[in-house]
A and B are shown apart, each in its own frame.
Chain A
Amino acid sequence: MTPQITALRSARTTTPKSVLHMLQVRGLLWHVPLLFLSLVMLYPFIWMILSSFKTTSEIVAIPPTFFPKNFSTSGYQELINKLSILRNFFNSVFVSGIATLSATACASLAGFVFAHYQFRGKNLFFTILLTSMMLPAAVTVLPLHALFNNLRLGNTYTALILPYALSGFSIFLVRQFMQGIPAEIFEAARIDGASDWLCYRKLALPLTLGPLGGVAVFTFLTVWNQFWWPLMITNSADMRTMALAVAQSATQIAQRFDVLAAGAVLAIAPIAILFGLATRQVVEGIAFSGMKEG
């Protein structure tokens, strides 16, 4: 709990009138619906993890079992044998990592520029960025596949990364953060002779590191889960990303629910862990942006 949030919490000053009211005030009563709902949200994951240790027949058996009756790692074994899953994992990490770095760096620069500069075509460009968030895969995949293959860039890391090197969503968010920084700071710096780049690097960037971290995590998670573009642009199994490999395991080892569950666990575990560790950063990053004010 950061100092900011703790400070906000302790601002509560009413005095409790009864036990129930005290529970309410102390917030304990609300745990009941929250716990229930959180379990509803988590149940499919629990099911998936448990199923990854069952055989296909047990997963679809009637009546359904909860804990595996016959503990089996057949799903994982099949997955590791059949698919080059470790290579796919590396691919996902590499592609998502580079794309995130690029997208976050660009977002911080672009957000800064949108927030504190005026230039010709500003609104038009912003509209184009908005549009990038609304394009379905069916529209983008075919022309880009043609383009990349014509440039002989098919089945390469370059092709996997470039479409995600910029994120309209991230630029949007960062712009909001940057708008929260008063312009006077930059005015003062400019008076002292600072260049634009220095304004960005020494003032804007350090002030928004927190939110940028949140944006980075968001982008990483989004790129990690991409399916259509990696499918179209990769040909060989060793270039595929994890999300793609797991999705294809569903058809390749058809109806093998144990493999699917194992693949799902492997695909989700890294990002779940990442998000679990970075939850606070992400929340705070968004909380302390300029977006909250009504």
Chain B
Amino acid sequence: MFKSRRSAIVSLFMLVCAALLAVPQSQTIRAQAAPAGSLTVWCVGFDPHVNGWKKVIEGYAKKNPAAKVTLEPQGGQADMLAKYKASLAAGNGADIFTTPGWDVYEFSIAGQLLPLSPQVMTYDDAKKNLFPEYILQSQVDNQLWAMGIPDPPGDSGIIVNLDALAAAGLKKIDKFDTRQQLLDYAKKLSVLDNNKLVKAGLSFQENNGGTYLLSYIIDQGGKFWDNDKQEFNFNTPEAKNALQFFLDLYEKDKVDAIGLPNAIDGMLQGTVNMAFLWPEFMPFASGAAPDKKYGFIMKPSYNGNTPAIFGHADTWNAVIPKYTTNAPLAYDFMRYLASEEGQLLFLDANPGLSPLRSLVLGNDYYKTGKGAYLAPVIDAIRAGRLRYYGPWLDGSSIQYDIMWTTIEDVMNKRLTVDAGLSQLTKLSNEQIVQSRKRLPNAPKTTIYFDALPADLAIK
């Protein structure tokens, strides 16, 4: 049959290749057309999340042994989001995926998600049972679109290196009462060598810095967003004070220097002793720098001696895409995730604030368990200090590409404070206009500056 041995070998080789190519393919096809009983979950490749999901999935398997839930971590946050959008567009991918709040908003407006109400809980129950940010992040059609996973509010406080604290002779407290106290600690934690700062006492070099700015504006009674005009305005005295405070860390107080690493790298490397950093950093760091010990101290309010205003715009959520072929199983799994049992399993690996009010305001986990470090934050929540900033389409562009780059420009003295605030205003509003062109039927964004609305308030 074959003209020569060589042709036979080549043909055989091609046959083997074809076989190998076919095998994984058919497996994948089988998985995608699977009957009820299997789910794929995509999460960000971030250890606390991955471990949290694994625990929840194990717990669910005990409850529903017939179901097969597979977790597929998808790498970094940025790459993962690109993938989700592509999957939604293509109409296939995971049955459940985790996404930040801003994307929940966009996906729900574009009609790409399955609403979680009433199958997981009714909308009214959701408003009563969950923290407000999970409702406010998307109120499209008065539905619940996402189930939160435990996540600490980004700008509630400050992470400190406990060994450095001890070395400086300072006591570990739960919250700072005044900004002056914070600066005193910062100055004692700064390490100088020949009058040059080699270890930062208080670093502000982190991309999420913008949210601290927003919180300090509200703390002074100011507003940065006009609910009627749907516009930003940072040209206010409160904004100026807030920005100046952070800038003074470099020039006046000298507790941070531009040449020092950013907050995350610095904390891990030991060149930053204290930083404005999200509380989730602590479980994150236990994997990256196991030899270092970190603590959380709630930040002071701007004027001092009251609990600080803080926001939780950077929620993490689980959503169900519309294309899923196994909605009943997905809903059942979500119900488990939304239960106290499910949340507690997740919390074991990822100590943050659960979206369930009943847990945060009542459970021992937050009194004596791993969540105890968030006690001052919970007190502040009870005192009505929790806020939600947004939702804005392209919220990540505003927070990172606009707010943080402008703050950096001011830090590097390429802009004055006033010019920086004008730039913040101008660019953010331009972004709002551009986003509106993409999804013109997006609902209006209302920010509750003074207090949360009655149906969402925390009692």
Residue positions of A touching B, CB distance < 8 A: 56-57, 60, 62, 94, 98, 141-142, 145-146, 149-150, 152-158, 161, 231-232, 235-237, 239, 247-248, 250-256
Contacts and interface: CB of A to CB of B under 8 A. Distances in A.
A176 to B, nearest CB: 27
Contact of A152 (B20, B32, B287): B32
Nearest to A97: B17
Interface in B42-86: 42, 45-47, 50, 70, 72-77, 79, 82-83, 86
Contact of A255 (B20, B72, B264): B264
A235 B75 contact: no
B265 interface: yes
B195 interface: no
Given A252-B45, A254-B46, A256-B288, A235 B89 contact: no
A248 B24 contact: no
B90 interface: yes
Given A60-B269, A157-B25, A237-B73, A232 B287 contact: no
Interface of B: 17, 20-21, 24-25, 28-29, 32, 40, 42, 45-47, 50, 70, 72-77, 79, 82-83, 86-87, 89-94, 264-265, 268-271, 284, 287-289, 291-292
15 contacts: A56-B289, A145-B86, A149-B86, A152-B92, A155-B28, A156-B21, A157-B20, A235-B74, A237-B72, A248-B79, A252-B46, A253-B288, A254-B46, A254-B47, A255-B264
Contacts of A158: 21, 25
A95 to B, nearest CB: 11
A152 B29 contact: yes
Nearest to B83: A232
B289 A57 contact: yes
* 6 tightest Cβ-Cβ pairs between the two chains A and B: A149-B90, A252-B45, A251-B76, A255-B288, A248-B75, A60-B269
A149 B287 contact: no
Nearest to B25: A156
Given A60-B269, A152-B29, A157-B20, A252 B75 contact: yes
Given A156-B24, A252-B50, 6 more contacts: A60-B268, A154-B93, A239-B24, A247-B75, A254-B46, A254-B287
Contacts of A145: 86, 90
A252 B287 CA distance: 10
Contacts of B87: 149
A247 B75 CA distance: 9
Contacts of A98: 17
A188 to B, nearest CB: 24
Nearest to B264: A255
A157 B20 CA distance: 8
Given A142-B86, A157-B20, A252-B73, A56 B288 contact: yes
A237 B93 CA distance: 14
Specify the main secondary structure of chain A where it touches its partner: helix
A62 B72 CA distance: 37
Contact of B289 (A161, A250, A255): A255
A28 to B, nearest CB: 44
Contact of A153 (B25, B77, B288, B292): B25
Contacts of A56: 268, 288-289
A256 B46 CA distance: 12
A121 to B, nearest CB: 29
Contacts of A157: 20-21, 24-25
A95 B67 CA distance: 33
Contacts of B17: 98
B76 to A, nearest CB: 4
A146 B288 contact: no
Contacts of A60: 268-270
A139 to B, nearest CB: 13
A235 B73 contact: no
Contacts of B91: 149-150
Query: Which of B45, B72, B91 counts the most chain A CB atoms within 10 A?
Result: B45
A100 to B, nearest CB: 13
A251 B264 contact: no
Contacts of B72: 235-237
A75 B67 CA distance: 35
Contacts of B21: 156-158, 161
Contacts of A232: 82-83, 86
Contact of B287 (A57, A146, A237, A256): A256
A98 B86 CA distance: 27
Contacts of A248: 45, 75-76, 79
B47 A252 contact: yes
Contacts of A254: 46-47, 284, 287-288
Which among A56, A150, A252 has the highest number of chain B CB atoms within 10 Å? Answer: A252
Contacts of B89: 146
Contacts of B28: 152, 154-156
A251 B45 contact: yes
Nearest to B78: A251
B397 to A, nearest CB: 16
B26 to A, nearest CB: 9
A141 B79 CA distance: 12
A146 B25 contact: no
